Amino acid sequence: MRRKTVLGEAFMTSAALFVLMALAFVGSLMEEPLVRAITVGAAAICGCACFLYYLHWKNSAVRKAAKILEKETVFDKYINSTSIPTAILDASGRVYWRNPAFAVLVGVNCEGANAYKLLPDLEKPDKSKCMEIGHVVYKKEITPIHFEKDDFLLLRLIDEKKTVKTVNANRAMLPVMCFIEIDNYNGMTAGMPLAEISEINAQIDGLVSSFAEELQGMIIKYTGYKYLVCFENKYLRIAKENRFDLLDKVRQIETSAGLNPTLSIAVGAGKNPQQSGVFAEKAMELAIGRGGDQAVVKDAEGYAFYGGIQHAVEVKSRVRSRTVSKALRNLMEQCEDVYIMGHEVPDMDCLGAALGLVACARVLDKPTYIILDRPNAAIASLLEEMKKVPDYREMIVTPARAHLMMSSRSMLVVVDTQIAGHTIAPSLFELTDTVVVIDHHLKGTDCIEGAVLFYHEPYASSTAEMVTEIDQYFSERVKLKSLEAEALMAGITIDTKGFSFKTGVRTFEAASYLRRVGANTTSIRHLFQDDMETYLARAGVVKNAEVRDGVAIAVCPRDSKNPQLLAAQAADSLIGIQGIGASFVLAETGQSVNISGRSFGVINVQMILEKMGGGGHATIAGAQIRGKSVAEIQAELWKNIREYMDNHEEELKRH
């Protein structure tokens, strides 16, 4: 041990000198004359006293340094043996203790010396806290220590270049957890012959095994359609550079029914296996919530997304909607009243879903309120119809009034969004313990947390479709009124663009149910009618659009009436033009700029707008941006489009 060595050296040196002085003193007594003997003896006694004081100081210094470091084992393991030059100084800068690395750097015999004289740059004020020793730049780290009425300084000199290399080397060897899951496996294999199921499984098993082998990883198949791959962090770069081409390879497999299997890949890269596993679980939840067919990488810095070029595979089973309906009923029975809130500037899908939930609450005789801030052109026609009925008119409350009325026993249902910051009144979440979320948009990284019930169905055409299924299973006593059925049908019609986008079997089944219970298609048509001014403004926006490589970008005039509605309608009109596969329309609305994106699905507008803080689906997406001009946003949008085209060049060629 260093402490024992120092104490031993100090003791042996002082003891030897003490013996010599004692002999000199005895010898002096034997000499004549007596005065000379007394003089020499006195000198010997003084010398002995000085060396005894040196011994006391030396032992005290070492003991204090060792006490500061508490335990000898900790001292040797973490300080004495470290490659970082470390020393303990007293208040005046004298070196009490140093480790071998510090001794090599400034000199072996530095104990007791003044550190500020050994290292003149130590006292120089420097914001970067750096100093150069022997052509090597060190970062000085000085930590004050108070121990037993004494003040000390712990000095460490860190070679950042060497430290960064060491950290990177350690990080490269950290374990990465990768979960792989076949999307909608049960739905894809339903009715498929066993021989074909085995063949499909074998093909996917082979591709996943090759993926793991390429990354020098270990693979475990823990269910019929789920895999775990573990590999070192340094190989994650290979998967990223290949943009997780396993997604494309699996998608090329085709079943006898003409279906192509897809994968959801979730990668967690943490500081230890446990954190990597937690990160991977969160990434998988997000990958599935975004429709599958993509890879999500989660590390300490955030999320990264790869793939997602395909449409989400439709789930035909209604088992989950039945389960959610029963759970929602149980929650409603326990609450005092129900408040329904959508996103900022609500549209027909948002308000239609709210009216569909009103029918559920009516069965349980629960007071129900729809939170609306200010009207907008998208829902103006429906609001006019609602205000003609006293019950609906009394149902509409402002966020300020809801704030006064709500209690901890209230239920807050959020529809058509899953992001708290995008709701009409985010402050209302703090007033209740029961929050329910119903949404169909692809899941983002900042979704509402703490919801008692989170019903998220990215395969659904609209939130109105999801609520229509809830109405069917909530209770046999649910009776939709004509306006409620028409509002739900209008929501589905708007989000599917007249049943032409993101429309599945369940979409038509929901529409059929609404038609049976009284939805009048002629009345719904009236809800979508535009005035002449809006029609001409839309034509002007389409006329002035800029088109590059099949993508159109247009800007609504600054003084446009109902700019957000105009942008959405213009984006729909642009993709109806031959040669245009995707469209984006920008519109200034107060302090922000809104972007409406549309496509036929070959170009994923959601992935493009997600980089700008937006979201949605592959065919319909939007974004709201503050603090930038229209010109800046337009330039950024073109840049993101070009990056998307370059990253998905092979997929786009196949289409």
Q: Which residue has the tokens 């994106």?
A: 597
Strands 294-299 and 263-269: parallel
User: 294 pairs with which residues across the strands?
Assistant: 264, 307
Q: Residues 577, 549, 572, 470: is their CA dihedral positive or negative?
A: positive
Task: List the alpha helices (DSSP H) in 85-147.
Answer: 100-106, 115-118
Q: Which helix (H) or strand (E) holds 482?
A: helix 482-495
The rounded distance, in Å, linking the Cα atoms of 497 and 569 is: 10
**Does the annotation place 440 within a ligand binding site?**
yes
The rounded distance, in Å, linking the Cα atoms of 439 and 353 is: 10
Q: Which helix (H) or strand (E) holds 371?
A: strand 368-371
Query: 103 to each of 99, 344, 517, 562, how far by Cα in Å?
Result: 6, 65, 88, 75
Strands 338-341 and 411-415: parallel
The rounded distance, in Å, linking the Cα atoms of 345 and 152 is: 62
Could you tell me if 483 and 520 are in contact, meaning their C-beta atoms sit under 8 angstroms apart? no
Strands 86-90 and 95-98: antiparallel
Strand order in the sheet with 294-299: 218-221, 226-232, 175-182, 263-269, 294-299, 302-307
Q: What single-letter DSSP state applies at residue 217?
A: -
The rounded distance, in Å, linking the Cα atoms of 158 and 171 is: 19
**Does the annotation place 373 within a ligand binding site?**
no
Query: How many CB atoms are closer than 10 A to CB 354?
Result: 31
User: 435 pairs with which residues across the strands?
Assistant: 412
For 347, list phi and psi in degrees, rounded to 5.
-110, -170
**Does the annotation place 495 within a ligand binding site?**
yes
* Tokens at 110, concatenated: 């530095």
Angle in degrees, 0-180, between the axes of helices 505-516 and 482-495, rounded to the nearest 10: 160
Those residues whose C-beta lies under 8 Å from the C-beta of residue 380, and which sit 6 or more positions away, are none
**Does the annotation place 531 within a ligand binding site?**
no
Q: Which helix (H) or strand (E) holds 141?
A: strand 136-147
Type of residue numbered 575: I
The rounded distance, in Å, linking the Cα atoms of 485 and 503 is: 19
Query: 193 to each of 135, 205, 539, how far by Cα in Å?
Result: 73, 18, 53
**Does the annotation place 416 within a ligand binding site?**
yes
Query: How many CB atoms are closer than 10 A to CB 232?
Result: 15
Q: Which residue has the tokens 């957000």?
A: 564
Number of residues that this document lists for the chain = 655
The rounded distance, in Å, linking the Cα atoms of 622 and 614 is: 6
Query: 451 to each of 412, 419, 594, how far by Cα in Å?
Result: 10, 12, 28
Residue numbering of the annotated binding site = 343, 347, 349, 416, 440, 495
Residue numbering of the annotated binding site for Mn(2+) = 343, 347, 349, 416, 440, 495
